[in-house]
Structure 1
């Protein structure tokens, strides 16, 4: 298994590329144990990449019996917009495509539940207990899916554009990134608005809670405070880190030069990865905002996901040296990882 690094030297990391898709990779996410990376594409397909003990991702299909480390999920006939793994079951995930919401058992590579939806789906997030999934749509609607009943339990309309949502670890609060640049902090499951934070000048696409929770046990000399954080990433090219207790900003990250499409906390919450409408991923220190590393990509990094257990970053778009001429590679899946 990959060793954890308390103070990583990102200049000593390597960027590994992996094929499998033949069209743009729209979404990716690690499972809860950090040993499998799921990816969704416009080709259309969903692929699973297993983390090998030597730290590499093996990418051959199960159809190739010689390298049985990855799996292509059958029954996918439409472009995949988003996928996210179950919070505690490493073999279950939910995906969103042009036809609706699909729940998967990846051990059997089969769909367990399929819910047709006539709206364009954007994002999904599980409740911490895995009993519900909140799905946002392009028509400013939130849907709460009851996983056990295999049905849409509630539909909630909004007066403004809603994008990514995030549910707090205790399952009592939900964040919503809005088209007016605000972050709505609401009670869950009622979605009763508690406060609207005017954090950005343009639409907010990314909202996430930090994965390590409260920081009472932060390492000595760590800049992290005891509170829990969340982030908001916007088309105004900024990412803001917020204190969830006070609902006050901790740090604004200004060093990205274009619209932010995705942002992700590292597993220990010490770092943020920022990706958007430029051919770079920037890794910043969460609280200080200092740039720790920059990854140059050949395609726009549409999706980012830090591994929940290790200092590994998965992202879409091919990485390449700055002087490389051939910059194609939007169909690749990439992992930024320590050299072995």
Structure 2
């Protein structure tokens, strides 16, 4: 069985390594499209970029400028030099790893919570606490449109083709909009409580939704139909990530584990023990290497700004 292969793999390569980068807790982590860099965003108002070198992460640069926490970040889908950050300071910033100064600072209409980059790289969507989503043209770095919602919007994402725009909502439903018209295509009743997180697999076959009901649903991304559910976690599922081959899904919450399942069967193939709630998980784009960040504290109860890696680093 596929499950047995991965269970054996993680049993043999279940190392966890910590890497310091921030002075306070880390909210978000993401890999560049080529897998050579990992970026993190923190409560300390900075973003850090690490370089993956053999068996470790080496801090390359710290990116300063935001006036509030960096709550979420996203890399350009095809340019490994660029990434964008969303902050509660009512700005969205685009950064080039070759310089510490922001390549662009875009004033937004609210305190930003989520951000996603269109698959063709030409637009960034950023959502705020008032459930307003703005669409930023990456050629002019100016807003090209916006959409206000009358319900709670949590996480946002385009599908892999960039033709549909997905919203997880506080109603327990998943809203699908046509892009670029932003007209409603579908409303999928996905969960019995708030839908929080959404993630599309790189292979284009699946997407997953995590909910406040502590359940993860895996969907067929082409037919937009639910395939299976996982209910091993006990707290709202705040973060999800598919492995590069689309066969594994990592899910995490306030539980003190990260659940890794076989996408095809829903069976658990590994767990990563954590001492604290997990904020963000991200599989490497070509290795079975999971980056994640937790609400860690030292013995004096001070927040730690660490990024962790799980799996086999050198292959």
Query: TM-score, length-normalised on structure 2?
Result: 0.92
Cα 1:195–1:73 shift into 2, 3 Å = same
Alignment of 1:10 onto 2:10? yes
Deviation at 1:78, TM superposition (A): 2.5
Alignment of 1:279 onto 2:256? yes
Q: Which runs of 5+ in 1 are unaligned?
A: 1-5, 60-69, 214-227, 320-324
Cα deviation 1:248-302 (Å, max 9, x = unaligned): 2111111111110111111111111111122211111112111111111122110
**Which residue matches 1:219?**
none
Alignment of 1:258 onto 2:235? yes
SS of 1:302 mapped into structure 2: strand
**Which residue matches 1:36?**
37
Cα 1:146–1:237 shift into 2, 3 Å = same
Alignment of 1:88 onto 2:78? yes
Instruction: Report 1:51-200 matches (<5 A).
Output: 51-52=52-53, 54-59=54-59, 70-99=60-89, 100-200=91-191
Counterparts of 2:52 and 2:262, CA distance in 1:
26
Cα 1:252–1:147 shift into 2, 3 Å = same
Counterparts of 1:264 and 1:326, CA distance in 2:
32
**Which residue matches 1:64?**
none
SS of 2:77 mapped into structure 1: coil
Stretch deviating more after TM superposition (75-84 or 299-308): 75-84
SS of 1:9 mapped into structure 2: helix
Deviation at 1:318, TM superposition (A): 7.2
Counterparts of 2:263 and 2:304, CA distance in 1:
28
Cα deviation 1:302-327 (Å, max 9, x = unaligned): 011111111110000278xxxxx999
Counterparts of 2:280 and 2:168, CA distance in 1:
17
CA contact (8 A) 2:279 2:295 kept: no
Cα deviation 1:142-200 (Å, max 9, x = unaligned): 11111111111111111211111111222111111011011112211122111111010
**Which residue matches 2:27?**
26
SS of 1:201 mapped into structure 2: coil
Paired residues, what number? 307
SS of 2:311 mapped into structure 1: strand
Higher strand share: 2
Q: Which runs of 5+ in 2 are unaligned?
A: none
Deviation at 1:330, TM superposition (A): 4.4
SS of 1:283 mapped into structure 2: strand
Deviation at 1:233, TM superposition (A): 0.7
SS of 1:19 mapped into structure 2: strand
SS of 1:191 mapped into structure 2: coil
Cα 1:12–1:101 shift into 2, 3 Å = same
